């Protein structure tokens, strides 16, 4: 059962029509689940999340931030309405009034007026406007004549205007454009036209609606839904989704207004203290004792607020540290995945030196029992045992060094040495491995500043992909060529195989996450490698060898060429100036 709750700001029937394409797409993309959709207002969704009656929730960014703080939900994708430049920041509001109302042109004209909105906790239906009023020095509860909350659906706000119950009303961005002949009946206060949306708005724009999973949602289900959403195409399905957006700007709104997760700050503001402790102002007239008491109390509250703010900063720093640790964990798991694929015959490789050690040891025992043990025999056997033991230990040491988990560290290193170590690691873990020819065109001792383990991870991924591409060839035709070159302050590493190459359709998605041509692949190897190389300030490219210019070191023919670049020294060269070589 896949249970999804969706915010219905215009009512259940319009919401069902608006999200019908999403429901049908998820049913087709995930047929293994029975789908249940709950359409409701803010309170309905809040109660369903609290009771654990949902697996996922699709709502506005304001309610998402509140549910994230209260119930630990986590976003897995952000809504995009197509290919507009601002499609991922499309939440805002328009403050509208009847066109014949005089003296109402800007938000500042709302002083002393009646403003209608859906609910106090509606993000696009009130809170975004509240922030704009706060920037104008207005407090709605103080400077407006009245606030009229109509509840959902949002059409009730327009009904309040038409019936003369309010002077102006707050509606979601682009809602008015769906009303027939709206410009003849209404006007937008402080309105500005947003070309990316094609709508008139009165507020700033904020990140679009998030698709979030609950704390108890099965990870497998969450991953399947995330992949399905990211594959949704606007041209085909009417909407599209992107990676989760940054909702820090929504936190900023709540912090400035001191609502939602930051409501606790209201009790420590100066205005809050005056309202809560106005009695002490009266007691100031009675003497110094009461003044001292008031001062001491104020200092105590200030210290409490300072402690709260410092804790918030510590929590944010801890969150950033966990994010960095998560990235290191992902890199570590990627290395283990590569290691597992190329070390399937590791036991066979280790059995040979270990068997040799056993044979020499048994030979010494038999000679000892037969009385034929000589110094030369002991010396010969001991020397062979040491050699075989060092060979086995060398294999294990290289594997352990590659698989260990540690934070990223960059240092100056000789690139040719790193290449030789990687080739030795790759060849030392397998029985039948393609021959690897290294063509070094670099100046002796050329250095780059890089994380040796991460660059080794990228090269091993290249070698493993090349080996997989040539499995159908006879062993004597399986070979890999690695060329090192220097070009205008950059070093290029080209890895060429002689397999069948990739089709154009696969090349178009070469570095996309979750895309793979292997039945047992995750589609993350080259995507992670691209992130590693770009984090080093370089580029990662892939092309068919039969389409490259003629090159003595990299001749044209069947197969693929994967190339990565690294700076030879620190400088401010732009990536756009790089050449693929």
> What angle do helix axes 61-71 and 248-257 make, rounded to 10 degrees?
80
Q: Which of 568, 207, 192, 546 is nearest to 413 (CA)?
A: 568
Give me the pLDDT at residue 422, please. Answer: 85
Determine the pLDDT at residue 109.
95
For residue 36, what pLDDT is reported?
A: 96
pLDDT score at 85? 45
Q: Which two tokens stand for residue 496?
A: 């060429």
Backbone angles phi, psi at 490, to 5 degrees: -125, 150
Token couple for 242? 């992107």
Structure letter (DSSP) for residue 558: S
Query: Considering the chain, what is the average pLDDT of its residues?
Result: 82
Helix (H, G, I), strand (E, B) or coil at 372: coil
Kindly report the backbone phi and psi dihedral angles of residue 183, in degrees, each rounded to the nearest multiple of 5, phi listed first: -70, -20
- Give me the pLDDT at residue 290, please: 83
- Any residues with CB less than 8 A from the CB of 557 and at least 6 apart, and which? 498, 545, 546
* Strands across the sheet containing 479-487: 435-440, 479-487, 490-496, 560-567, 540-544
In degrees and rounded to multiples of 5, residue 339 shows phi and psi of -60, -40
Measured distance CA(470)–CA(479) in Å, rounded: 8
Q: What is the predicted pLDDT for the residue at 571? A: 40
**Residuewise pLDDT in 10s, the chain (581 residues):** 999 999 998 889 999 998 999 999 999 999 999 999 999 999 999 999 999 999 999 999 999 999 999 999 999 999 987 544 445 667 899 999 999 999 999 999 999 999 999 999 899 889 999 999 999 999 999 999 999 999 988 899 999 999 999 999 999 988 888 888 898 999 999 999 988 778 899 999 999 999 999 999 999 999 999 999 999 988 888 888 988 988 999 999 999 999 988 888 876 555 555 555 666 767 777 888 888 888 888 888 888 888 888 888 888 888 877 776 665 665 665 556 655 655 544 554 565 567 567 766 887 787 788 878 788 778 877 876 776 677 567 656 656 655 565 556 788 989 899 899 888 877 766 667 888 999 999 988 888 998 887 888 788 888 888 888 888 889 888 899 999 999 888 999 999 999 888 887 777 777 776 556 665 544 556 777 888 888 888 988 888 888 777 677 888 888 889 999 998 764 433 433 333 33
How far apart CA 101 and CA 186 sit, in angstroms, is: 9
pLDDT per position as a tens digit, 494-534: 999 998 888 877 777 777 765 566 655 445 567 778 888 88
CB 97 within 8 A of CB 88: no
Q: Residue 178: phi, psi to the nearest 5?
A: -90, -5
pLDDT of residue 526: 77
The percentage of the chain sitting over the pLDDT mark of 90, rounded to a whole number, equals 37
């Amino acid at each position: 059962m896949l249970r999804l709750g969706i915010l219905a700001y215009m009512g259940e029937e319009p919401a069902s029509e608006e999200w019908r394409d999403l429901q049908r797409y998820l049913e087709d993309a995930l047929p293994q689940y029975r789908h249940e959709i709950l359409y409701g207002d803010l309170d309905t969704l809040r109660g369903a999340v609290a009771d654990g009656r949902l697996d996922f929730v699709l709502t506005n960014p304001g309610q998402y931030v509140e549910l994230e703080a209260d119930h630990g939900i986590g976003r897995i994708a952000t809504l995009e309405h197509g290919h507009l430049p601002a499609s991922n920041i499309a939440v805002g509001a328009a403050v509208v009034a009847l066109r014949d109302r005089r003296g109402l042109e800007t938000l500042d004209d709302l002083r002393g007026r009646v403003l209608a909105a859906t609910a106090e906790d509606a993000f696009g239906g009130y809170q975004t406007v509240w922030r704009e009023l706060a920037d104008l020095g207005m407090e709605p509860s103080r400077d407006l004549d009245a606030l009229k909350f109509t509840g959902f659906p949002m059409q009730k706000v327009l009904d309040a205007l038409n019936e003369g119950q309010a002077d102006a009303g707050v509606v979601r961005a682009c809602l008015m454009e769906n009303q027939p002949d709206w410009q003849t009946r209404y006007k937008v206060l402080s309105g500005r036209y947003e070309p990316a949306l094609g709508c008139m708005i009165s507020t700033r724009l904020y990140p679009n609606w998030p698709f979030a999973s609950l704390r108890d949602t099965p990870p497998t289900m969450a991953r399947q839904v995330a992949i399905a959403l990211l594959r949704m195409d606007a041209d085909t399905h009417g909407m599209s989704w992107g990676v989760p957006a940054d909702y820090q700007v929504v936190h900023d709104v709540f912090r400035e207004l001191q609502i939602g997760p930051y409501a606790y700050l209201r009790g420590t503001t100066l205005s809050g203290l005056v309202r809560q402790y106005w009695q002490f102002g009266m007691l100031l007239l009675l003497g110094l004792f009461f003044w001292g008491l008031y001062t001491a109390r104020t200092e105590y509250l200030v210290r409490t607020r300072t402690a709260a703010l410092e804790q918030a900063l510590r929590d944010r720093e801890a969150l950033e540290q966990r994010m960095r640790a998560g990235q290191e964990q992902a890199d570590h798991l990627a290395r283990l995945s590569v290691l597992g694929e190329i070390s399937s015959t590791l036991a066979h490789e280790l059995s040979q030196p270990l068997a040799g050690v056993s044979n020499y040891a048994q030979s010494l025992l038999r000679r000892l029992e037969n009385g034929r043990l000589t110094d030369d025999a002991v010396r010969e056997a001991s020397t062979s045992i040491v050699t075989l033991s060092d060979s086995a230990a060398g294999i294990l040491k290289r594997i352990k060094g590659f698989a260990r988990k540690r934070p990223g560290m960059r240092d100056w290193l000789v690139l040719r040495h790193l290449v030789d170590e990687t080739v030795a690691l790759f060849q030392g873990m397998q029985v039948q491995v393609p021959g690897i020819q290294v063509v070094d065109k670099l100046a002796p001792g050329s250095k780059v500043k890089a994380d040796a383990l991460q660059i080794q991870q990228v090269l091993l991924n290249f070698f493993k992909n090349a080996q997989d591409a040539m499995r159908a060839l006879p062993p004597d035709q399986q070979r890999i060529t690695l060329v090192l070159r220097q070009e205008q302050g950059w070093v290029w590493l080209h890895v060429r195989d002689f397999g069948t190459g990739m089709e154009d359709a696969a090349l178009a998605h070469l570095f996309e996450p979750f895309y793979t041509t292997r039945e047992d692949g995750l589609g993350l190897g080259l995507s992670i490698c691209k992130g590693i190389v770009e984090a080093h300030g370089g580029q990662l490219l892939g092309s068919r060898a039969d389409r490259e210019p003629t090159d003595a070191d990299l001749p044209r023919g069947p197969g693929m060429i994967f190339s990565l670049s690294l700076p030879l020294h620190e400088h401010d060269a732009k990536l756009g100036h790089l050449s693929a070589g």
